[in-house]
Chain A
Amino acid sequence: AAGVIQSPRHLIKEKRETATLKCYPIPRHDTVYWYQQGPGQDPQFLISFYEKMQSDKGSIPDRFSAQQFSDYHSELNMSSLELGDSALYFCASSSWTSGRGYNEQFFGPGTRLTVL
């Protein structure tokens, strides 16, 4: 079965640079979530989109922005990178129309961002 695809898998940037992370949800999934997991920490919710509209927002810095496109893929844009932005970034997708009547989120393998 198709899974959530994230690219790139690894990314190295310098401070103050920008980065763009991409997420391709499972086909026919209508909701995308972004999570950040710092070293030794638990995943923290950043932002989510349902049908291309922002549906919820967590502790996402103002330097970050995200959007969901017409083909349902999503991009997380990160500017003025700081050392503290080094983390694993997970994308997850879900669909309430899956027929199972609940919201199971399927996670991608993550993008490991290192800011030097």
Chain B
Amino acid sequence: DAKTTQPPSMDCAEGRAANLPCNHSTISGNEYVYWYRQIHSQGPQYIIHGLKNNETNEMASLIITEDRKSSTLILPHATLRDTAVYYCIVRAPHDNSGGSNYKLTFGKGTLLTVNP
């Protein structure tokens, strides 16, 4: 799996957009970009994933550069409950080969602190 690089910490004001960057310059053509977050001592939570197109769901938006070497997770209106460690993970997609070898490799992540 490709290695990712994220800033160790970021701050954001409540109600403002939080933009979390991730570099993955060695990403392969079939690897997806996944984002998970972990609120203190809770189990990690899936946020969003994408291959090359920008993606949006009820939680966030994912912007992937055209060369796919970096991406940005956007929380459009951050709340205090969004304070968490955000992990960018690059990994091959799940296919119908039987669910093997799809572990998540967590890097250092970004601690996002949303301030009132």
Question: Please, which residues of chain A bring their CB within 8 A of the CB of B85?
Answer: 42
List chain B residues, Cβ under 8 A from A101.
93-94
Contact B43 A4, beta carbon cutoff 8 Å: yes
Give the interface size bracket for B toward A: 20 to 34
Q: A44: which B residues are within 8 A, CB to CB?
A: 106
- Residues of chain A within 8 A (CB-CB) of B81 are none
Render B41-73 as a binary contact track against A, CB cut-off 8 A, 1 for contact: 111111001000000000000000000000000
Kindly identify which residue among B95, B103, B107 contacts A45, using a CB–CB cutoff of 8 Å.
B103
CB nearest neighbor in A for B95:
A96
Bound complex: CA A5 to CA B38 (Å)? 17
Q: CB distance A107 to B45 under 8 Å?
A: yes
B102 with A43: CB separation less than 8 A? no
Give 3 closest A-B pairs by Cβ, nearest first: A103-B94, A107-B43, A50-B99
Residues of B participating in the A interface, judged by any CB pair closer than 8 Å: 32, 38, 41-46, 49, 85, 87, 93-96, 98-109
Q: What distance in Å separates the Cβ of B90 from its nearest Cβ neighbour in chain A?
A: 13
Label chain B's interface by main secondary structure: loop
Further 16 A-B residue pairs, CB within 8 A, beyond A50-B98, A88-B41: A4-B43, A42-B87, A48-B103, A50-B99, A50-B100, A55-B98, A55-B101, A56-B102, A90-B43, A92-B43, A102-B94, A103-B93, A104-B46, A105-B46, A107-B44, A110-B41
Contact in complex: A48, B46 (CB < 8 Å): no
Q: How far is the CA of A92 from the CA of B42 in the complex (A)?
A: 12
Which listed residue (B44, B93, B101) contacts A56, Cβ 8 A? B101
**Chain A residues positioned under 8 Å from B106 (CB to CB):** 42-44
A108–B98 CA distance with the chains assembled, in angstroms:
22
CB A32 to nearest CB in B, in angstroms, measures 10
